[in-house]
Amino acid sequence: MINLNEVLAQVHKEIKEYIGKGKVADYIPELAKVDPNHFGMALRLRSGEEFSNGDADLPFSIQSISKLLTLTMYIQQVGLELGDRVGVEPSGNPFNSLIQLEYEHGIPRNPFINAGALVITDGLISVFKNLEDEILNTARRLSGNPTVNYDLSVAASERMTGFRNAALVNFMKSYGNIVNPIDDVLDAYYHHCSLSMNCLDLVRMFSFLANEGIDFNGNRVLSFRETKRVNALMMTCGTYDAVGDFAFRVGIPAKSGVGGGIVGVIPGVMTLAVWSPALNSQGNSLAGTKALEVFTTLTGRSVF
């Protein structure tokens, strides 16, 4: 049988030359301060066994990976039928483009582009009295780590410079696709994007995606059908404008963030998380993408 500690060590070795290559996201000033030379990786089998390597216990800004958490909460509360307010198709456009949004009358293509995630956040505000608390509690509960927290300096930094997101949410409100006040939506959105977590937190939090919807405490988070939808969405929309390339190279459902993190799922088998801050030209962690590619190649574990 494969020794996964050795596999992770081998992955780390093979991708060493890529660590620090690429470019740390600099449109959010706080993120630009992060040392690009970090690399961490963790995985959790369905059985509960965990393996990790490098900076797997160092927290980082999970950014868009948080969209996976809010989408999960939205499906729990509102159900699978996103269709009225947000689609389930890849966009073929950069994550923050307004063009398609105008042609499609304020209905974002999917919940993983910024516009779609803002609609999901808006939907959650309508459900929860205090959404920021609710998200934090959910992240802590699902990850089993009570010290998980928002990085308020990152949230503030993003708020100060997030004119594109403010444009998106105002634009959708002009179409009636945002219900709550603009500032409430942006505040909640920047909060959940600022969640600071490490790779081990992430493989625990999203272990239910590899376990037909059951979390690591044995509690049902989503139904099997809902879990399948989330995994399918990650496969077709999870890595911005690199979905096709990522599917080929890595071959598993995944969600990336501009903080350099990526969460991947081998359905029925394991959840993975990798982190390295420097990004490739498509906004995904360069060394992280490479690490997942090497991992699925070494283990023969892609879905294709």
Question: Which residues of this protein are in contact with a second copy, per CB under 8 A?
Answer: 87-93, 97-100, 102-103, 109-110, 163-164, 166-168, 170-171, 173-174, 182, 227-229, 231-233, 235-237, 241-245, 247-248, 251, 253, 267, 302-304
The kind and range of the H/E element at 297 are: helix 286-299
- Rounded Cα–Cα distance for residues 197 and 256 (Å): 14
The residues with which 52 forms a beta bridge, in sequence order, are 42
Say if residues 286 and 271 touch (Cβ distance below 8 Å): no
Toward a second copy, which CB reaches closer, 11 or 235? 235
Q: Which two tokens stand for residue 77?
A: 């509360």
DSSP string spanning 9-47? Answer: HHHHHHHGGGTT-SEE--SSHHHHTS-TT--EEEEEETT
44: number of Cβ within 10 Å: 25
Nearer to a second copy, 47 or 103 (CB): 103
Laid out side by side, the sheet with 261-266 consists of 50-54, 40-45, 270-275, 261-266, 254-256
Give whichever of 90 and 260 is closer to a second copy, judged by the CB atom.
Answer: 90
> Cβ of residue 106: shortest distance to a second copy, in angstroms?
10
Q: From the CB of 66, what's the least distance to a second copy, in Å?
A: 20
CB 16, min distance to a second copy, A: 23
**Closest distance of CB 126 from a second copy, Å:** 18
User: For a second copy, which is the closer residue by CB, 37 or 174?
Assistant: 174
Q: Is 80 helix (H, G, I), strand (E, B) or coil?
A: coil
Nearest distance from residue 119's CB to a second copy, in Å? 14
CB of 182 to a second copy, least distance (A): 7
Task: Name which of 136 and 179 has its Cβ closer to a second copy.
Answer: 179
Query: Which of residues 149 and 282 has its CB atom nearest to a second copy in the complex?
Result: 282
